[in-house]
Amino acid sequence: MTPTSLTLYDTTLRDGTQGTAISFSVADKIRIAQKLDEFGIHFIEGGWPGSNPRDASFFKEARNISFRHAKLAAFGSTRRGGLSVHKDPQLQMLLEAETPVVTIVGKSWLLHVTDVLGVSPAENLAMIRESIEFLKSHDRIVFYDAEHFFDSFRESPDYALQTLQAAYDGGADTLVLCDTNGGSLPDFIRSTTHEVVSKFPIPIGIHTHDDSGLGVANALAAIQAGASQVQGTINGYGERVGNCNLTTLIPNLQLKLNIPCIPELSRLRELSLFVDEIANLQPNIRAPYVGSAAFTHKGGLHVHAVQKLARTYEHIDPSLVGNRQTIVVSDMSGQSNILAKASQLGLNLEKGSPVVAQILKEVKELENQGYEFEAADGSLELLIRRTAGQKIHLFDLREYHCFFWRRGSDTTCEATVKLSVNGQNEYTVAEGDGPVNALDAALRKALRPFYNWIDSIQLTDYKVRIVDSGRGTAARTRVHILSSDGKSNWGTVGVSDNIIEASWQALVDSFELAAIRSSNHN
C-alpha cells in the first residue's frame, strides 16, 4: 500500500523552533525557507502568526518572495470554545498571513478535550468542522493536524475517528495523524494509519515525534500503510527530543523505498549543515546519511574491505546525499588505513614498506601517550608527510615565554617568542585574552614578514581534555585546535604535562599545515 509519490511538509520554522536552544530571527527564517524551497520541499510551515510578533513579521516579509517549488503554510488552531469563527482573532490572523495553505490543529484525545480545553466532546467536533469550513470559504488549502491522534485511538477509537470525520465534513484537504507524545510503536502506527486510509477518500498525512527514538521509523510505517504526506524537520529539531528527522527520512524514502521526493538528493548534506549553521549548533557527526561519521571507517579490517569494495561497509554511495567516504587513523588502524590516507594526500606508498610500518608504529605510540588523530587530520597529515620524507619546516624555535599578571581586578596575558626563519632572528611580544591567544599573536607577528598567508588562517575552535585525570593537577593535557583558511578546515593536536606546551604543539602544526595548503593552492 506504499504510495508511489508523496508530499514533504517541513515544520522546522515552527515545530523545530520549539526545541531547546533553537531560535531563529525573521531574517534566519526567510533564508531557511528559501533554502528549503530550492531543495524541493513541497510545503513549508512558516510559523503561528497568532502566537508572536516574530512569526507575524515573517509572513509579512514572505509575501515578497516567489517560491519556485514550495507552498507556504501558516499554522494555527481551531476556534475557541463558545466563540464564533467570525469573531475568533486567531483565525483572522491566519487569513491575514495570506498564505495559500493553512494548517490547523485540533484535539483528538478526550483527555485534552475535557481536561485542557474544558469543552464538551460535541463542542470540540463543532470547533474542528466550523474552523475548517471558515478557512475553506476563504479559498485556502486546509490541512488538519489531529493532535494526539494515536493516543486517542488507543483509548477511544470511535471518538478519534469522529474528529477526523468532522474535519473531513468541514472540507479539509488532508488529514494529518499526529503522534504528538512520540510514544507509539511502528506496528500500531501502521495498523492505525491503514484503518484511517481505508475510511477517508482524501490524502492522509503523518506527523511523528522522536521521544521513543522512532520518529523516522513511525513515519515510514505510516507511509507504507498509505499515508501520502509526511511532516518533519531538518536535522530532527523539535520540542523535547525532537521531530521526525527529514534528513534521515528523505533518503530512506528515495533510496530504500524508491519513492521520488527530491530532484537533487546530493544537496541533502549541504542543507543539513546550512540549517545547523543558521541555528548556531554543532552538526551531529553521527547523523545518518549526512553526518561526517556516517561513512567514516576506522577499524583496519573495515578499511581493507571498503578499499576493495565500498559497499561491503557502506549501505549507499555517500555522494548520493552529498557526503563522502573518510578513512581515519588511530591505534586500531592497520596498513590499509595508512595507505588509504596517504592516497588521499597524493602519496603513493606501498603496502608492507618500511615507511608505512613506521607511520603505523608512530601513530600507535603517540596515541598511547594521549594523542588522538581522528579529529586531528592536520597533525596526522604532517606525520605521514614527514615520515615519507617530505620536509616541512617553517622556523627554528629559540624560546618562548608566557606571562599572566593580576593587579587588583586587572589581568594581563603576554607572550614572547624568539625564533629564526631562514637564518634571520625574530623577537616578538604580544598580548592576548589568554596565554594561548597571546602566544598565537606573538607567533603570527614573528612569521608575518616571511609568510603572506599567515593572516588568512583563523583558529575556529580550541578544546582541552585531561588524558589521565587520576594524576590531578599533574595530569597530561590534550589540546585540539581547529583551523581554517576559508577554503578548507583542519584539526591539529598537542599533548603535554603542560597545557601551554600542548597548545604550542597544536598551534605550530596548524601553521605548518597551512604552509602546505598555501603551496598547494598556489
pLDDT of residue 451: 92
One domain, residues 365 and 421: no
Q: In this predicted model, which residue has the larger pLDDT, 338 or 153?
A: 153
Q: Are residues 408 and 492 in the same domain?
A: no
Residue 45 pLDDT class (50, 70, 90 cuts): very high
Cell of 455: 593572516
- What tens digit of pLDDT does each residue of 401-417 get? 998 888 888 888 999 99
Structural domain includes residue 176: yes
CATH assignment at residue 440? 3.30.160
| Same-domain pairing of 50 and 113 | yes
**pLDDT mean over 352-357:** 86
pLDDT in the model for residue 215: 97
Reported confidence tier of residue 467, pLDDT bands at 50, 70, 90: confident
Mean pLDDT of 116-139: 95
Q: Chain-wide mean pLDDT for the chain?
A: 89
Gap between the Cα atoms of 161 and 105, Å rounded: 15
Alpha helices in 83-156 (DSSP H): 89-96, 110-112, 121-136, 149-155
pLDDT at residue number 310: 63
Interatomic CA distance for residues 259 and 521, integer angstroms: 42
442 and 484 share a domain? no
Cα separation, 415 vs 252, in Å, equals: 53
pLDDT tens-digit series, residues 338-350: 777 788 788 888 8
Do the domain assignments include residue 296? no
Our separate counts of H helices and E strands in the chain read 17, 16
pLDDT at site 522:
47
Same-domain pairing of 413 and 373: no
CA distances to 83, 91, 134, 171, 392 from 87, rounded to whole Å, are 7, 8, 11, 20, 76
pTM recorded for the entire structure: 0.73
pLDDT interval class at 305 (50, 70, 90)? low
On whether residue 91 sits in a domain, the answer given is yes
Task: Examine the domain organization and report whether 107 and 27 are in the same domain.
Answer: yes
285 inside domain: no
> Which residues have a Cβ under 8 Å from the Cβ of 358 and sit 6 or more positions away?
387
- Of 295, 389, 372, the C-alpha closest to 333 is 372
Last residue of a domain, one of 263, 284, 318: 263
Sign of the torsion formed by the C-alpha atoms of 469, 472, 475 and 478: positive
> Do 166 and 201 form a contact (C-beta atoms < 8 A)?
no
> DSSP strand E in 17-82: where?
43-47, 71-77
**Angle, to 10 degrees, between the axis of helix 377-387 and the axis of helix 335-344?**
90
Judge if 251 and 361 occupy the same domain. Answer: no
Q: Are 437 and 471 members of one domain?
A: no
- 43 beta partners: 9, 71
Give the number of domains in the chain: 3
pLDDT: which is higher, 305 or 188? 188
With CA atoms as reference, report the closest residue to 24 among 40, 35, 8, 38: 35
How big is the chain by its Cα radius of gyration, in Å? 29
Position of cell 475510511? 199
Q: What is the mean pLDDT of residues 265-276?
A: 92
- Reduced to 3 states (helix: H, G, I; strand: E, B; else coil), residue 452 is coil
- Asked, for residue 30, whether it belongs to a domain, the answer is yes
Does 304 fall in a domain? Answer: no
- How much is the pLDDT for 484? 87
Determine the pLDDT at residue 257. 95
pLDDT of 120 over the 60 cut:
yes
The residue-averaged pLDDT of 231-243 equals 96
How confident is the model over 16-25, as pLDDT tens digits? 999 998 999 9
Domain CATH number, residue 78: 3.20.20.70
Same domain (yes/no): 250, 378: no
- Identify the domain boundary among 263, 288, 304: 263
Q: What angle do CA 207, 227, 114 make, to 5 degrees?
A: 45
Q: Are residues 413 and 500 in the same domain?
A: no
- CATH, residue 466: 3.30.160.340
Has residue 333 been placed in a domain?
no
**Residue where the block lists cell 597530561:** 476
- The last residue of one of the domains, among 433, 450, 467, is 450
pLDDT at 469: 58
> 322, 266 in Cβ contact below 8 A?
yes
Instruction: Please say whether the beta carbons of 239 and 288 come within 8 A.
Output: no
Residue 477 φ/ψ, nearest 5 degrees: -120, 135
Q: Is residue 324 part of a domain?
A: no
Residues 411, 480 within the same domain: no
Q: Name the percent of the chain lying above pLDDT 90.
A: 59
Q: Are residues 44 and 84 in the same domain?
A: yes
Which domain covers residue 483, as residue numbers? 351-394+456-522
